[in-house]
């Protein structure tokens, strides 16, 4: 392959710079205002309405999705479990995001995951495919063949030099990460950053070959979702990631641009395995923070809390 080291970050850098310059030239300070707005939107309520409210608080989906763009939504649908197990993202959260993207003029929305169990079973059980069935332009896909992945380099990787990722996210698309909040027997919690493992081909090597926490941080340096929305309407606080486990109902949607900040807040919402934690106590989050990928201290964040 053509190698393009750091293709995502460079491109994003250029786009961001260009956008910034353009807004300044045009004399519209709204872009800068948007950046100064809340770091996190934490909304309590029913899955769909809370998700819509969270998007609104962050400045509307139009801030992230422009007309004619392709959007990749990455929910967690890796397990053949029904939504009540909290092993997968709530279908209504995915639907709310997907609809918002289509309404904002997205060309198409791909809801995809590299499932751990048979694709067909996961799609059937997780309920996301059924929920998205009647939204034109939205496609729910479970990718289980290597031909849908492409290798990229990780210039800032500490343990990973290269990784095969889902091709579709390389294609200048908007990536929205919509994980479910759950415990994880290896990494403590599985939120946004851990969820990105669903976009790579060889998930197993993270466990067997590499230090998984460092590998997740490495991955976060090349896969950078524009938006992370944690579905904490339910949280599997033990038994994760596959369950069955103890399911709590925090009834929260946590959304933000900074993937570390969103996850860090997510760590604090419920006791995991019967104990309270902070973001800094989660090894992969700490590693990502130390790489400069985001803010980890919840106290320093500008958080909008609301109920719908």
Q: Which is nearer to another protein, 33 or 118 (CB)?
A: 118
Cα(81)–Cα(97) distance, rounded to whole angstroms?
21
Asked if residues 263 and 287 have their Cβ atoms less than 8 Å apart, the reply is no
265: which 2 tokens? Answer: 């807040």
If binding is defined by CB under 8 A, does position 127 make contact with another protein? no
Q: Is 20 helix (H, G, I), strand (E, B) or coil?
A: helix
List the interface residues with another protein, window 226-255 (CB under 8 A).
238-239, 241-246
Asked if residues 247 and 85 have their Cβ atoms less than 8 Å apart, the reply is yes
Q: Which is nearer to another protein, 112 or 222 (CB)?
A: 112
Indicate the DSSP class of residue 150. Answer: E
Q: Which is nearer to another protein, 210 or 304 (CB)?
A: 210
Cα(60)–Cα(57) distance, rounded to whole angstroms?
7
List the interface residues with another protein, window 141-180 (CB under 8 A).
141, 143-145, 147-148
If binding is defined by CB under 8 A, does position 187 make contact with another protein? yes
Looking only at the bridges linking them, the beta strands covering 162-166 and 174-178 are: unpaired
Q: What's the closest the beta carbon of residue 115 comes to another protein, in angstroms? A: 11
Closest CA to 105 of 21, 8, 32, 174: 174
Q: Which is nearer to another protein, 201 or 272 (CB)?
A: 272
Q: Is 239 helix (H, G, I), strand (E, B) or coil?
A: coil
If binding is defined by CB under 8 A, does position 185 make contact with another protein? yes
Cα(219)–Cα(214) distance, rounded to whole angstroms?
9
List the interface residues with another protein, window 78-97 (CB under 8 A).
80
Q: Which is nearer to another protein, 59 or 279 (CB)?
A: 279
Asked if residues 219 and 56 have their Cβ atoms less than 8 Å apart, the reply is no
Q: Which is nearer to another protein, 84 or 151 (CB)?
A: 84
Q: What's the closest the beta carbon of residue 12 comes to another protein, in angstroms? A: 24
Contact track, another protein, 198-227, x by CB under 8 A: ------xx-xx--xxx--------------
Looking only at the bridges linking them, the beta strands covering 174-178 and 188-190 are: unpaired
If binding is defined by CB under 8 A, does position 189 make contact with another protein? yes
Per DSSP, the residues of 163-206 read: EEEEGGGGSS-EEEEEPEEEEETTTEEESHHHHGGGGBS--HHH
Give the interface with another protein as residue ranges (CB under 8 A): 80, 108, 110, 112, 116-121, 125, 139, 141, 143-145, 147-148, 183-189, 204-205, 207-208, 211-213, 238-239, 241-246, 272-275, 277, 280-284, 286
């Amino acid at each position: 392959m053509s190698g393009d080291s750091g293709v995502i970050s460079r491109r994003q850098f250029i786009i961001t710079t260009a956008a910034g310059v353009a807004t300044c030239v045009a004399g519209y300070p709204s872009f800068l205002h948007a950046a100064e707005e809340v770091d996190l939107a934490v909304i309590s309520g029913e899955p769909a309405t809370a998700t819509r409210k969270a998007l609104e608080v962050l400045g509307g989906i139009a801030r992230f999705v422009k007309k004619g763009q392709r959007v990749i939504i990455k929910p967690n649908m890796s397990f053949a479990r029904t939504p009540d197990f909290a092993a997968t993202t709530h279908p209504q959260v995915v639907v709310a995001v997907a609809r918002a993207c289509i309404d904002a003029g997205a060309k198409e929305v791909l809801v995809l995951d590299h499932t751990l169990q048979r694709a067909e079973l996961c799609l059937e059980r997780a309920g996301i495919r059924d929920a998205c069935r009647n939204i034109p332009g939205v496609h729910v896909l479970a990718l289980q063949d290597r031909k849908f992945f492409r290798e990229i380099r990780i210039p800032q990787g500490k343990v990973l030099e290269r990784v095969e990722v889902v091709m579709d996210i390389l294609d200048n698309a908007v990536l929205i990460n919509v994980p479910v909040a759950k415990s994880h027997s290896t990494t403590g919690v599985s939120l946004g950053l851990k969820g990105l493992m669903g976009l790579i081909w060889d998930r197993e090597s993270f466990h067997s070959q590499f230090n998984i926490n460092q590998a997740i941080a490495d991955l976060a340096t090349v896969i950078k979702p524009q938006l992370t929305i944690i579905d904490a309407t339910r949280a599997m606080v033990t038994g994760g990631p596959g369950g069955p486990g103890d399911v709590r109902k925090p009834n929260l949607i946590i959304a933000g641009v900074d993937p570390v900040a969103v996850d860090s807040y997510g760590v604090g919402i419920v006791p995991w395995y019967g104990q309270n934690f902070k973001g800094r106590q989660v090894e992969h989050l700490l590693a990502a923070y130390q790489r400069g990928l985001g803010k980890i201290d919840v106290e320093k964040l500008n958080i909008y809390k609301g109920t719908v």
